[in-house]
Amino acid sequence: MTTKSSTMFNVAEAALELSSDVNSERRKPHPLVLVIFGATGDLASRKILPAICHLAVRKELPDEFAIVGAASSEIDDEGFKKIVYEATKDIDDPEGIWANYLKRFRYISGDYMSSDTFARLEQVLSEVDTECKTNGNRVYYLATIPKLFSVVANGLKTVGCNKAKTKDTFVRLVVEKPFGVDLESAKSLDQDLHKAFSEDQIFRIDHYMGKETVQNVLALRFANAIFEPIWNRRYVDHIQITVAETLGVEHRGAFYETAGALRDIVQNHVMQVLSLTLMEPPASMEAGGIRDEKVKLLKAVEIGDIDEQVNTTVRAQYASGEIDGQKVIGYRQEDGVSPTSETETYIATRLYVDNWRWAGVPIYIRTGKRLQKRITEVSMVFQRPPHLPFAGRLSRDLRADVLSLRIQPDEGISLSFGAKIPGPSFKVKTVSMNFSYSEAFQEVAVDAYERLLHDAMVGDPMLFIRTDEVEQAWKIVAPIQASFAQGEPPLAKYPSGTFGPIEAERLIQASGRQWQNL
Ligand code: BG6
């Protein structure tokens, strides 16, 4: 039996306004120029340009707005406008708002190593300021390959484009993940960025933070009184965080070879979900308060030694198989991937948070590509009742109560618990109640990039990652990185289209627990 109820959780009524301007409509950014480095690349076309276009047609951009694209491709303004047009042509623009903006877009082609590129950029920016009245305000978006992040930041500094010209104007830098490949490189990237930009100018994007349902974790926890008393070690037996994807590495084989699931998903997306779910309540929904609590939580995550980590981590790689009835190739056959690659496309591990609230509660994490189903969720698995007054056979089908926060797809929350099966005997079994986002709300959730770009343009840092968060997340995964570097644990295999390797089942079964059925 499944009881559908969208009224069970009062999330709808109690939804929190998660912006600095609590309870107000979304603010329009001040006049500005958005400069996209890597403007002809995949990220710009797939995510950034469509997100900006959506904001434009919803009238959430100021009239005084323009984009300047920069990249090494030798095209001119018209060539760039064509790229923008192609990336956004499917978005409805009945009033021609986007088409109007598009006319003003400019492009700089050049080598980021050359100061001439930045001198020309500065020139174009001042022309745009005059034409579009953008007032010297800038948001620079680093959508280049990561090794160019420092180069671009330095280039901007050499021509003085890193600083606001007056106290009423702003200059911000948006940085895409990955923020380094380990703790050392993250620190060194930060040092480089900080030579040109102060921390409050830097907006590090983890697109998971822009997902409505990730933010809803905060609403569930802090807009309701009923969850707080049970959100701790006294009631929670263990926690599971799952990020399962059906996609393989697509056309990103060469990049993925340098990343693997640990760096690609665990160090960033999983750590964000983990910290929001387990952190202490902040005093207010203000950026500093939330980010402080996230860091405190990450600092409490136990950092095991390498040997311990080997015993509680599984790494694996997808072999060929079938997804939705379609045959798919194995990871080692993908373009850009070595036929002897040892890169993990799946990881399962166990962590502990050493603080008063969570001491002794294991947190099981699993993420992988080419799994049977796409699903991201957090499950709080509660302890069994201390005593079951039913005979064993009557409660055979009763599992532990579970509260699941489904981040995607079918965003929502479900609670499974025991209920009596109708009939003469007192048989109990597990049933579930579901809250579905799409059933409860008419509003369409905005895409994560739209939300984050908007926040960067208005200068709201709450959903962006602070440097201390990045470093702490690298510290947590460091022992796992070190064990992988030593070839431990041995790389397991799983056929595409399954739920991962058998070793991951053994990992959780060793403590008498089981992965939640997806
Ligand atoms: C990205 C990773 O950060 O997140 C990708 O680099 C992954 O490998 C993606 O596929 C998953 O994002 P989403 O929003 O589809 O869960």
CATH number of the domain where residue 267 is located = 3.30.360.10
Site to probe by mutation for ligand 1, drawn from 258, 264, 268 as the one with most ligand atoms within 8 Å of Cβ, is: 264
In short, whether 245's Cβ falls inside 6 Å of ligand 1 is yes
Tell me which residue range forms the domain holding 499: 210-509
Domain C-terminal end among 168, 187, 205 = 205
The Å distance, Cα 247 to ligand 1 centre, comes to 9
The Å distance, Cα 447 to ligand 1 centre, comes to 13
The Å distance, Cα 416 to ligand 1 centre, comes to 28
- Domain with residue 185: its CATH number is 3.40.50.720
Q: Which residues of 314-337 are buried (b: 16+ CB within 10 A; e: fewer)?
A: bbbbbbebebeeeebbbbbebeeb
d(CA 328, CA 321): 5
3 found inside a domain: no
The Å distance, Cα 7 to ligand 1 centre, comes to 31
Site to probe by mutation for ligand 1, drawn from 208, 243, 255, 265 as the one with most ligand atoms within 8 Å of Cβ, is: 265
253 and 368 within one domain:
yes
| Atom nearest to 256 CA in ligand 1 | 8
**Residue 269 annotated among the catalytic residues of the structure:** yes
* Residue ID of nearest Cα to ligand 1 atom 6: 264
- Number of CB atoms found within 10 A of residue 77's CB: 16
* Residue ID of nearest Cα to ligand 1 atom 15: 245
In short, whether 206's Cβ falls inside 6 Å of ligand 1 is no
490 found inside a domain: yes
Strand partners, 323: 326
In short, whether 264's Cβ falls inside 6 Å of ligand 1 is yes
260 and 142 within one domain:
no
272 and 201 within one domain:
no
Segments of 15-88 assigned E as strands = 32-37, 65-71
The Å distance, Cα 435 to ligand 1 centre, comes to 25
Q: How many domains does the chain have?
A: 2
389 found inside a domain: yes
- Residues sharing a CB contact under 8 Å with residue 404, sequence separation 6 or more, in sequence order: 377, 378, 379, 380, 413, 414, 415, 416, 516
- Of the residues 207, 238, 269, 454, only one is catalytic, namely 269
d(CA 302, CA 187): 21
The percent of the chain in helix, strand and coil, each rounded to the nearest 5, is 40, 20, 40
227 and 200 within one domain:
no
Site to probe by mutation for ligand 1, drawn from 247, 249, 269 as the one with most ligand atoms within 8 Å of Cβ, is: 269
366 and 253 within one domain:
yes
The Å distance, Cα 205 to ligand 1 centre, comes to 13
What are the tokens at 322? 């079938």
413 and 347 within one domain:
yes
14 found inside a domain: no
Domain C-terminal end among 205, 230, 265 = 205
What is the spatial order of strands in the sheet that 138-142 belongs to?
A: 106-109, 65-71, 32-37, 138-142, 171-176, 202-205
What are the tokens at 502? 């058998």
* Residue ID of nearest Cα to ligand 1 atom 8: 264
In short, whether 411's Cβ falls inside 6 Å of ligand 1 is no
Q: What does each of the 518 residues of the chain score in pLDDT, given as a tens digit? A: 334 444 343 333 333 444 444 334 568 999 999 999 999 999 999 999 999 999 999 999 999 999 999 999 999 999 999 999 999 999 999 999 999 999 999 999 999 999 999 999 999 999 999 999 999 999 999 999 999 999 999 999 999 999 998 999 999 999 999 899 999 999 999 999 999 999 999 999 999 999 988 888 898 999 999 998 999 999 999 999 999 999 999 989 999 999 999 999 999 999 999 999 999 999 887 878 899 999 999 999 999 888 888 999 999 999 999 998 999 999 999 999 999 999 999 999 999 999 999 999 999 999 999 999 999 999 999 999 888 887 778 888 889 999 999 999 988 999 999 998 999 888 899 999 999 988 998 887 788 999 999 999 999 999 999 999 999 999 999 999 999 999 999 999 999 999 999 999 999 999 999 999 98
**Cβ(275)–Cβ(301) under 8 Å?**
no
In short, whether 377's Cβ falls inside 6 Å of ligand 1 is no
What are the tokens at 315? 């790494």
**Cβ(346)–Cβ(316) under 8 Å?**
yes
446 and 399 within one domain:
yes
222 and 186 within one domain:
no
- CA 10 to the chain's CA centroid: 25
Axis crossing angle, helix 448-458 with helix 49-57, rounded to the nearest 10: 70
**Residue for token pair 């969208």:** 6
404 and 302 within one domain:
yes
d(CA 185, CA 11): 41
Domain C-terminal end among 190, 205, 220 = 205
392 and 492 within one domain:
yes
**Cβ(44)–Cβ(177) under 8 Å?**
no
d(CA 474, CA 449): 24
161 found inside a domain: yes
215 and 167 within one domain:
no
319 found inside a domain: yes
5 found inside a domain: no
**Residue for token pair 């599984």:** 314
**Cβ(349)–Cβ(359) under 8 Å?**
no
2 found inside a domain: no
d(CA 6, CA 113): 55
d(CA 207, CA 456): 13
- Number of CB atoms found within 10 A of residue 132's CB: 19
298 and 187 within one domain:
no
